[in-house]
Amino acid sequence: MRDLSPDLINSLSQSVTTFCMAWKLELKDGRVFGFSEHDRDLVIDGVTYSAGSSLTESEAEHRLGFASDNGAIEGVLDAASISESDITDGILQEAKLSRLKVNWQDPTQFIVISVGDLGQVTTRRDHYEIEWLGLSHKLGRSTGRVFSKKCDASFGDARCGVDASQFPDGTVCPKTLEACRHQFGNVINFRGFPFLLGDDGLYSGPKEGAPKDGGSRYK
């Protein structure tokens, strides 16, 4: 639940409101751009939001729980803010986009609706479209190592330790323990987990006639 000030709640409850949408774009190099759909510049929390920026929200979806919010923002390429060359140079990579609803009569009254990362950016003539992803999308990422029966090192890299130049071009490493031991003599650097149990092992019961002494079934 968002913590709203009494003044903001009062303004939002009026039959006729003076609110507009605004967007704050924070680049990884520290630069901040503000955009607003209002017809004059607004200063919100120390950031100037350009009037009539042509930035519009073409699509948005908000979900409860841990599902990821997402949407799209469209705009016209403008050398004064974001140009096509900027996008080509990757200026929007790892940028953060905040969506705000602000009272243009009193910009101290605003609410941050969502904060997300920028996804895919596409350009069409003088227009661009930015995909934005709610911060909860990070929960779906795989980070760190993946536990697998096969080796997760690349053949010949520092973690593998094998001198790939000693083998013919096109040599393929199947990344199994057997191949690492018998084909490359490199089992000491094997980066997989060959004895990792699969679903069949996790859910299977003791074999018929096997002693039930609490010991390992893989002796």
Q: What is the pLDDT of residues 132-156, one digit of tens each?
A: 776 665 665 666 777 888 999 999 9
Q: Which token pair is 128?
A: 């661009």
Query: What secondary structure letter does DSSP report for 179?
Result: I
d(CA 144, CA 146): 7
Q: Map residue 50 onto helix, strand or coil.
A: strand
d(CA 55, CA 21): 10
Largest CA distance in the chain: 83
Q: What is the pLDDT of residues 37-67, one digit of tens each?
A: 888 999 999 999 988 655 566 544 444 443 4
Contact 54, 132 (CB under 8 A): no
